């Protein structure tokens, strides 16, 4: 039990005992002391109320401190989550680098094996060349011995000497050719030894880098383990705080509602909800034409429903309807309007101009019509300036996205949208009249009256009611167009 509540209960019991004892004393003393006893009881009740008020103030202070502690813990948990995400990315990068280094080491090891085989072959070739050179030297020695014998025999006969000289020249040429082959093989062996030394140096360097990568990976794994322990401690702390918050039902409920009210929705989510709750509007206007024929105007648009002050309305731009915006417009004999979604169709009986802007019209709907259409009306934003950006949705073009807006001094019923052709827009970016603007919480802000200004729909006061059907002939739509034109001319030039 809370300490403040326990103190209040103890005080209340003490006051009750004092009051009971005083009541018994008053019965014994009689009527003479009755007035004094009543004064004592009133004073005791006042004291009890003051104690209760003090306990309530202490409880409210404790709830505020606990709420601040929860906010700090939540911020710390979010920072830890971001740090863990960065550590995971670093570990993945280090692991990728280690895999690349290991692949390089494997390639170098394979190259080392190949060079060792090549060196072995070169050594075998050297051994063969050495054997050939030894054989050549033996042959040269034999040739010299033969030459000596031939020279000795040449003294005996000149013919034999000439023959031996020719053979000696041939033998010398063969010896020169063998010596050149030996020199070439020695150069090949030297090149092979230099390449082997270079590859051995590269292999040692790669092995060093691989060891360094392994050490870094081990350090990152240890850091990850420490972060995992920190995250578990944070989860345990959050669980402890959640258990403590269960004892503060009223304060926690208010805090949760504040958090939900500040949560932003993604533009995709808002556009998905718009697609799920839009309805088709259709207007048909007719009047007598030449030779007894009837001429007419048909308007088909996509609109949404919104709820304001406990009532549901359909939102229109005047260009969604056959009503004129200029003097001298046509006098329609009959105008009919319907809202439809799927197989459900709801007729419209009237349209209302709003007082803030003559281009914004609403059609009131009852609960049966909303149920028949099967959509969820959008709530109206109570604080349009809560966020810096709005989500603009085009009814026909299929574009939507975030658009920054500004409040305009002197125009409290409008928001000025900042046109950014390279902004965060999905699809064609050309916001125009009739587009809808939603807050980042998915609440309806208003409707674009032109390409820059959005008229807010919060608490729209009606300016004029236009009844549809055949009654439109008595209301003279040409006069309605003249009135709309006069109201537009009275607005600032930027809003026209």
pLDDT value of position 307: 93
pLDDT value of position 480: 93
pLDDT value of position 261: 58
pLDDT value of position 439: 94
pLDDT value of position 209: 80
Tell me the average pLDDT across 376-387.
91
Helix (H) or strand (E) holding 65: helix 34-154
Helix (H, G, I), strand (E, B) or coil at 415: strand
pLDDT at residue 423 greater than cutoff 50: no
CB 199 within 8 A of CB 115: yes
pLDDT tens, residue by residue, 64-76: 888 888 888 888 8
Give the confidence band of 53 by pLDDT, cuts at 50, 70, 90: confident
Tell me the average pLDDT across 111-119.
83
pLDDT value of position 443: 95
How do beta strands 436-438 and 389-393 pair?
antiparallel
Tell me the average pLDDT across 384-399.
85
pLDDT at residue 422 greater than cutoff 50: no
Contacts of 308 by beta carbon, 8 Å cutoff, 6+ apart: 380, 457, 458, 459, 460
| CA-to-CA separations, 469 to 359, 435, 466, 481, in angstroms, rounded | 21, 27, 10, 18
Tell me the average pLDDT across 178-207.
77
Helix (H, G, I), strand (E, B) or coil at 334: strand
pLDDT value of position 334: 93
Give the confidence band of 380 by pLDDT, cuts at 50, 70, 90: very high
pLDDT tens, residue by residue, 183-194: 777 777 687 677
Q: Which long-range contacts (CB under 8 A, 24 or more apart) does 199-205 make?
A: 199/108, 199/111, 199/112, 199/115, 200/112, 202/108, 203/108, 203/109, 203/112
pLDDT at residue 442 greater than cutoff 80: yes
pLDDT at residue 204 greater than cutoff 70: yes
Match 């691989």 to its residue by tokens.
210
- 308 or 17: whose pLDDT is higher? 308
HSE-up (13 A, CA, CB side) for residue 327: 7
Q: Where are any strands of DSSP class E within 418-483?
A: 425-426, 436-438, 444-448, 453-456, 462-467
Q: DSSP letters along 42-60, please?
A: HHHHHHHHHHHHHHHHHHH
CB 298 within 8 A of CB 321: no
Give the confidence band of 293 by pLDDT, cuts at 50, 70, 90: low
pLDDT value of position 453: 95
pLDDT at residue 38 greater than cutoff 80: no
Match 């807050």 to its residue by tokens.
439
């Amino acid at each position: 039990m809370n300490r403040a509540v326990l103190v209040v209960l103890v005080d209340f019991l003490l006051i009750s005992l004092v009051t009971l004892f005083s009541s018994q004393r008053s019965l014994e003393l009689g009527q003479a002391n009755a007035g004094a006893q009543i004064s004592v009881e009133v004073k005791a009740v006042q004291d009890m109320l003051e104690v209760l008020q003090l306990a309530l103030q202490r409880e409210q202070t404790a709830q505020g401190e606990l709420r601040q502690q929860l906010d700090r813990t939540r911020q710390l948990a979010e920072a830890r989550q971001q740090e863990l995400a960065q550590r995971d990315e670093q570990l993945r990068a280090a692991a990728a680098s280690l895999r690349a280094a290991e692949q390089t080491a494997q390639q170098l090891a394979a190259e080392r094996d190949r060079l060792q085989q090549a060196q072995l072959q070169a050594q075998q070739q050297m051994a063969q060349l050495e054997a050939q050179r030894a054989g050549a030297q033996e042959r040269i020695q034999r040739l010299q011995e033969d030459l000596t014998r031939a020279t000795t025999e040449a003294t005996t006969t000149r013919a034999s000497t000439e023959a031996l000289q020719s053979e000696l020249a041939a033998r010398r040429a063969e010896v020169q050719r063998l010596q050149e082959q030996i020199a070439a093989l020695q150069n090949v062996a030297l090149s092979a030894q230099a390449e082997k030394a270079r590859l051995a140096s590269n292999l040692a360097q790669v092995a060093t880098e691989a060891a360094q990568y392994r050490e870094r990976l081990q350090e990152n794994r240890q850091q990850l383990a420490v972060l995992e322990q920190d995250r578990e401690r944070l989860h345990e702390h959050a669980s402890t705080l959640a258990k403590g918050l269960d004892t503060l039902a009223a304060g926690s409920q208010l805090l949760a509602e504040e958090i939900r009210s500040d949560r932003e929705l993604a533009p995709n989510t808002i556009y998905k909800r718009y697609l799920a709750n839009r309805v088709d509007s259709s207007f048909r206007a007719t009047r007598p034409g030449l030779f007894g024929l009837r001429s007419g105007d048909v308007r088909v648009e996509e609109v949404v429903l919104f709820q304001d002050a406990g009532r549901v309305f359909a939102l229109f731009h005047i260009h969604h309807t056959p009503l004129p915006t200029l003097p001298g417009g046509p006098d329609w004999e009959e105008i009919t309007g319907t809202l439809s979604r799927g197989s459900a169709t709801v007729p419209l009986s009237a349209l209302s101009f709003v007082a803030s802007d003559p281009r914004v019209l609403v059609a009131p709907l009852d609960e049966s019509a909303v149920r028949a259409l099967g959509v969820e009306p959008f709530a109206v934003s109570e604080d349009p300036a809560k966020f810096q950006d709005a989500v603009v949705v085009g009814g026909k073009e299929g574009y939507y996205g975030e658009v920054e807006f500004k409040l305009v001094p002197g125009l409290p019923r409008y928001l000025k949208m900042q046109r950014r052709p390279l902004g965060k827009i999905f699809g064609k970016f050309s916001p125009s009249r009739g587009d809808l603007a939603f807050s980042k919480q998915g609440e309806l802000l208003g409707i674009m009256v032109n390409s820059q200004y959005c008229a807010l729909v919060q608490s729209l006061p009606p300016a004029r009611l236009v009844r549809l059907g055949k009654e439109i002939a008595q209301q003279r739509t040409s006069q309605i167009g003249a009135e709309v034109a006069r109201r537009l001319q009275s607005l600032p030039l930027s809003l026209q």
